Amino acid sequence: MAERTFRRRRVVAAVVACALLSPGCQTFQSLKTMGSNWRPFSSSYDDPLAETKLADAERLFTEGQYEAAGKLFKELADNTGNNAILAERARFMQAEARRVRGQYPEAVDTYHRLLIDFPTGAHRQESCARIFEISNYWLDDFRDELLARQEEKGIRHWRPRWPNPWDRTKPFLVQESRALEGLDYVHTHDIFGPSADKALFWCGYVNFIRGNFEEADHYFSQLVEMHKDSSLRPQAMAYAIQAKNNATGGAVYDGRKCAEALHLVHVAEASVPELSRDPEMVDRLTKAKFAIRYQQAEKDFRTAEYYERIGHPGSAVFYYELVRRRYAGTQYADLATDRKDQLMALMAAGKSPHGNDPWMMVQAKWSELFGSKNDVQTAEGRDSAPGSRPLTGPTGPDPRTMPGGGQPGLGGQPGMGGFGPRP
């Protein structure tokens, strides 16, 4: 009997709960309204003492009680019911409290939250300046690493190091990535601010040293295009030229980056006197032009080889002649001349090279076996024809003999003199 009564009570309680939780129940709506006005369930509430709390928090901050002040600032900033001016001030002071306590990673996150919530607020530029200072401090380890590895050539990949868990001023992990992230915040939220060009330069330079040439090209090109009065523009332009040339991946890939790099070289020579007057930079620009020209010559030469391989000698001759005229003085021009002479001799002898195309090979064999008498005579005398040797010549220079060990760019080295300015 007792068990049956207990079951009835459970059924009645379940029915009452379903009725209360149903969307049309007025009791549920009243409970929901009460809960939304209760502080534990919402970050928005009417606080008549907000101005007094802000004054108390700033007094605590002035007295050096940063932890207590930070808690009050956070409470005021999290309350979306406060006016925007008060909330922005509270969020900025919360970040300042964390910064002066040496909690730099948390401070950067708080500054960034302010920039997200108040993108046009009164503390935008000041927050960006604080983020740049902290990120630049984090890059000191990167600069020290470059000094220690200055004898190394080529790309200098990141080397892991033991973090200090007691140092609250630096991220425990991925310090370099956090620094680049902070610099990205600076130039994103304050595009034409006083630190935007420096942030772009360091983002590009770190990626350049690590071998991320596409990212480096992105940042350096932005600096060149958007900050024409910056003192870092000449260096950024020089790095952008090399980053574009190295970002192609080689002659077999898209050659538009090479064309952009060559155009940027011409712009630098015509409009940037800082580069044209410096003998060292003039020499580097000359090497850059040679590297770009060399890669473009290789691309056109590979295109000619492709047409020759699939059995289109006319197109192959056209591209070989293009390489011979456009890139005179390079090794590819000499190779193109030899290949063109071979193809012209074969076609003059009546033998059209069929390459590796199966259909062209079948057609050539059919003509040889069942063609006319002239075709047979031509086939019999092809061995004595000049240039009748198989087209198995070199496909290009050995990459190991290229300047810089086969890496495109200014001698294969990512650096272009020094480590850039140190803001």
Q: How many CB atoms are located within 10 Å of the residue 208 CB?
A: 25
* Contact present, 344 and 314 (Cβ < 8 Å): no
Distance CA 37, CA 30 (A): 11
- Quick check: 179 and 138 in contact, CB under 8 A? yes
Report the pLDDT value the prediction gives residue 136, as an integer from 0 to 100. 95
Whats the size of the chain, residue-wise?
Answer: 423
pLDDT tens sequence across 325-369: 988 888 888 899 888 888 888 877 766 665 655 666 676 666 666
CA gap 355, 335 in Å, rounded? 18
Amino acid in the structure at residue 338: D
Residue 235 corresponds to which tokens in the numbers above? 């260096």
pLDDT of residue 165: 79
Give the per-residue pLDDT at 349. Answer: 75
Reading the block at residue 240, the tokens are 């952008």
Q: What is the model's pLDDT at position 11?
A: 56
What residue ranges of the chain have pLDDT lower than 50?
A: 23-42, 372-423
What angle do helix axes 50-62 and 84-100 make, rounded to 10 degrees? 20
Q: What is the pLDDT of residue 101?
A: 93
- 6 by Cβ neighbours in 10 Å (0-12 / 13-18 / 19+) ranks as exposed
State how far the alpha carbon of 116 is from the alpha carbons of 17, 119, 181, 183, in Å: 41, 6, 14, 15
Give phi and psi for 262, each to the nearest 5: -65, -40
Query: SS in 3 state form for 232-295?
Result: CHHHHHHHHHHHHHHHCCCCCCCCHHHHHHHHHHHHHHHHCHHHHCCHHHHHHHHHHHHHHHHH
Q: Angle at the Cα of 124 (from 119 to 128), degrees rounded to 5?
A: 115
With tokens 């001016």, the residue in question is: 85
C-alpha distance across the termini of the chain, in Å = 85
Which tokens hold the place of 184? 């990205």
H helices then E strands: how many in the chain?
19, 0
Fill in the amino acid letter for 381.
Answer: G
Q: What is the pLDDT of residue 287?
A: 81
Indicate the burial class of 374 (C-beta count within 10 angstroms; 0-12, 13-18, 19 or more).
exposed
- Note whether 349 and 312 are within 8 A (CB): no
CA distance 26 to 280: 81
